[in-house]
Structure 1
Amino acid sequence: MPGASWICRPCLIRALRPLNRWHTRFQSNAAATSGPISPALLSRARAVAAEHSQLAQKLTNGFDARAAKKLGEITAVVNALKEWEKANESLTELRTLIHDPSTDDELRSLASDDMASSSEHLNQASQALTTSLVPKHPFTNLPCLIEIRPGAGGSEAAIFAGDLLRMYQAYCSRQGLRTALLKYENAEGVPESDSPLSEAVLEVESEGAYGVFRCEAGIHRVQRVPATESKGRTHTSAASVLVLPSFPSGGSAETEDFDDPESDYYVDPKEVRTDIMRARGAGGQHVNTTDSAVRLTHLPTNTVVSIQDTRSQIKNREKAWQLLRSRIAQARREKREEEMVAMRRSVVGVAKMGRGDKVRTYNWGQQRVTDHRSGLTVHDLTDVMEGGHTLEKVMESVRTWLMERDVEALIAGDETDGGK
């Protein structure tokens, strides 16, 4: 092409686009279905875009709070779809230039050079579009409660449970997350934080904490030589970690009303038995002399919460209600998730690991930490236990794993609905 040598690459390629527009349009549908994104997800994105357009039109005729809220929620999907379509069109046009016999050799060379970057752009746009489509977990933006209990392994398990508690406290400190030790009891039931624990509840008060720590729920296993082991043998012990949403005592703009029977964390006071008793176990001079311990029992589910951390019955009652609501809400959410997984498992093998699954192994001898969901192994156990960057690396790998499972479930649900 005369004069092509002095035209900049983008201008040169754009100059030929009108000549190949008919061919681009002919191939666009095929390229859309063969790109690095599920056709089911692409169909869902376009349905969301259509809904977005309808809502926008509705709002031009008058303000509607519910429509405005919905519009804001799905705008990210629409923007991601536009970016994907732009990247997909650009890559399609480059392929057209390369395979069209009438294309100038220099243009074909320029198009070939741009293929790698355009393909990467499409991959990134596909990932962004997929992520935008996954429904946000309803508890993601809430603070959270981290419950830690020793499992199999006797006193070594109790020591390891304490190690996990300090690991999460250190992590929160490094990340600037506010925490409060809601409950700490040792094997004798005494609320002393410097002894091996039987149960601990750490509240992470910062917004979004549930989304950060959701990946930590499950059985954490430790392999090391206990301090009490005289022959140097490695023992295996375990501790369980449960992550619950933490709801403010009076609700907020981000949560539903506690009085709404349809909400996940609604608890009917008539269904809760309250027992007041004296705190148990050896301790300070006031521990056994006041009726300050509070035990709540949710009768329909037999969920029991007991708090005796302070000498104030009122404060212990507030803590107990907070913990009870969180446990009930989490149980309801898990039940719904299990029902969805069971429904979709017939379509694809959607995996879901719950509180009873072994999720991570900490091997002291090899200084190794392995997460059994993401498959990531790191060899800086010290940094992990100090809540450092290596722990964040492991946690991020699990968040990615959870996202992938959510995408599988989303695709499976679309395919199930499409087959009806």
Structure 2
Amino acid sequence: MFDRLEQLENRYKELEQDLADPSIISDQQRFQKSAKQHRDMEPVIERYREYKQVQTGIADAKSMLAEPDPDLRAMAQEELSALEGRLPEIEEQLKIMLLPKDPNDDKNVVLEIRAATGGDEASLFASEVFRMYLRYAEQHRWKVEVLSETESSVGGMKDVTALIEGDRVYSSLKYESGVHRVQRVPATETQGRVHTSAITVAVLPEAEEVDVKIEQKDLRIDTFCSSGPGGQSVNTTYSAIRITHLPTNTVVSCQDEKSQIKNREKAMRVLRSRLYEVEMEKQHQAQASARKSQVGSGDRSEKIRTYNFPQNRLTDHRIGLTLHQLEYVMEGKLQPILDALVAHDTAERLKAEATAA
């Protein structure tokens, strides 16, 4: 570990020199790349330097134990105890910082929510879960843009696709993919019986054009009249877009905008993200043993969470977490759950690293 940290510190020093080099400063693309690398490395380098300072302090304190003055020896012993207690904590932090980073953590996401089992009740829950994510996004000042949605006859959502843009969105929401189950008495239930319904959530990292190459010949693009609210243009102009990726039979549609061009741009963003997810899944299957140590598989068919309204209880089945604060969670207060998922995943990855070593 420490050999790697020394290499990182040397690289960090090189980047500092690069950022002061006039020839690099004048090359904006190269300068921005170096600045990003420098910024990404800064936390681990700061912690490593703190580790070395603590080691130096321990050596100095030990040398003071040989002093003839008893007061100095007592002070040295006190400082030594404090520093030696600090060292393992910094080591653990460094181990976590050196774990392989998810290359998608900095990406925006395409969020897809679909009503599954439960009919109207599932569509109502889908709209409530989407609202939950909207509240969470507001807390982080993320931008949410609805790309497409289909309403149900009772005011819920059969499906909704949205783009969420902001700082490290995928890093925060990546564990949300899967089946979310709800248990409660539906508004349409006359006998007070608790029903179980389910929705699926997919969190896809938004793919750039460089991530996924799409050939124009592989696309079939259809236009049709949009439906739903939208004023005079609804059902009068062919502004809605449906794109089919022929090799994978992936279909994406968008009718949120009145402009056909804008709808096409949005649909292509979703298509790239879905194709990117397919490619990631292939990689995950090839690395199946490593995936077993992580939180869930990201498979949207996996039941990850149950929302029990009569008991005000939320249970995340992957880590055995239960909270009796469901009303707060539905208002977007998801951080305790997400923090627990990250902590569990980190612990499992550290175990895997230790086993491999």
The two structures have a TM-score, normalised by structure 2, of 0.79
Equivalent residue, structure 2, for 1:318: 265
Equivalent residue, structure 2, for 1:229: 189
Distance 1:89 1:278, change over 3 A: same
Q: Percent identity?
A: 35
Q: Is 1:307 the counterpart of 2:307 in the alignment?
A: no
Contact 1:161 1:239 in 2 (8 A): yes
Hey, what does 1:139 align to over in structure 2?
A: 104
Residue 401 of structure 1 pairs with residue 348 of structure 2: no
Change (3 A) 1:340 1:410: farther
Which residue of structure 1 lines up, in the alignment, with residue 138 of structure 2?
A: 173
Q: 1:275 to 1:237 in 2, by over 3 A?
A: same
Alignment match, 2:54? 87
Contact 2:242 2:267 (8 Å CA) reproduced: yes
Q: Structure 1 residues 282, 128: closer, same or farther in 2, change over 3 A?
A: closer
2:18·2:34 contact (CA, 8 Å) conserved in 1? Answer: no
Deviation at 1:267, TM superposition (A): 2.1
Residue in 2 that maps onto 1:370: 315
- What CA RMSD, in Å, does the superposition of the two structures yield over aligned residues? 3.8
Equivalent pair of 1:341/1:409 in contact (CA under 8 Å): no
Give, in whole Å, the separation in 1 of the partners of 2:142 and 2:271: 23
User: Alignment length, in residue pairs?
Assistant: 349
SS in 2 for 1:231: coil
Pair 360,90 (structure 1): closer, same or farther in 2 beyond 3 Å: farther
Name the CA distance, whole Å, in 2 between partners of 1:169 and 1:349.
30
Match of 1:218 among 178, 188, 193: 178
Note the residue ranges of structure 1 that are not aligned, 5 or more in a row.
1-40, 189-193, 248-255, 416-420
Distance 1:375 1:288 in 2: 49
Aligned with residue 325 of structure 2, among 371, 376, 380: 380
**Could you list the per-position Cα deviations for residues 242-288 of structure 1 after superposition, in whole angstroms to 9, with x for gaps in the alignment?**
112336xxxxxxxx6x2xxxx32332222222122344689977544
Amino acid at match of 2:297: M
How far has the Cα of 1:337 moved from its partner?
A: 3.7
Code of the aligned partner of 1:358: K
Quickly say closer, same or farther: Cα 1:202–1:123, change in 2 above 3 A: farther
Alignment of 1:33-112 (within 5 A): 41-49=1-9, 52=12, 65=30, 68=34, 70=37, 73-88=40-55, 90=57
Alignment deviations for residues 87-111 of structure 1 (CA, whole Å, 9 cap, x no partner): 35656887x69xx999998777656
The 8 Å contact of residues 140 and 208 in structure 1, kept in 2 or not, is answered as yes
- Residue aligning to 1:293: 240
Structure 1 residues 365 and 59, CA, compared in 2 at 3 Å: closer, same or farther? closer
Over residues 126-147 of structure 1, what are the superposed CA-to-partner deviations in whole Å (9 max), with x where a residue is unaligned?
Answer: 2431333234333323332211
Contact 1:350/1:408 (8 A) holds in 2: no
Going from structure 1 to structure 2, the CA distance change for 1:111 and 1:239 (only over 3 Å counts) comes to farther
Deviation at 1:324, TM superposition (A): 0.8
Structure 2: distance between partners of 1:339 and 1:45 = 29
In structure 2, C-alpha distance between the alignment counterparts of 1:339 and 1:103, rounded to whole Å: 64
Secondary structure at 1:294's aligned position in 2?
Answer: strand
Name 2:164's counterpart in structure 1.
Answer: 204
Which residue, out of 289, 293, 298, partners 1:354? 298
Residues 328 and 404 from structure 1, CA distance in 2 versus in 1: closer, same or farther, beyond 3 angstroms?
farther
Does structure 2 retain, via aligned residues, the 8 Å contact 1:240–1:355? no
Return the letter of the residue paired with 1:48: L
Question: Residue type matched to 1:86 in 2?
Answer: Q
Larger gyration radius, structure 1 or structure 2: 1
Alignment partners' CA distance in 1, 2:20 and 2:284: 38
CA contact (8 A) 2:312 2:325 kept: yes
SS of the residue 1:300 aligns to: coil
Contact residue 277 and residue 293 of structure 1 kept, 8 A: yes
The answer to whether the aligner puts 1:332 opposite 2:279 as a matched pair is: yes
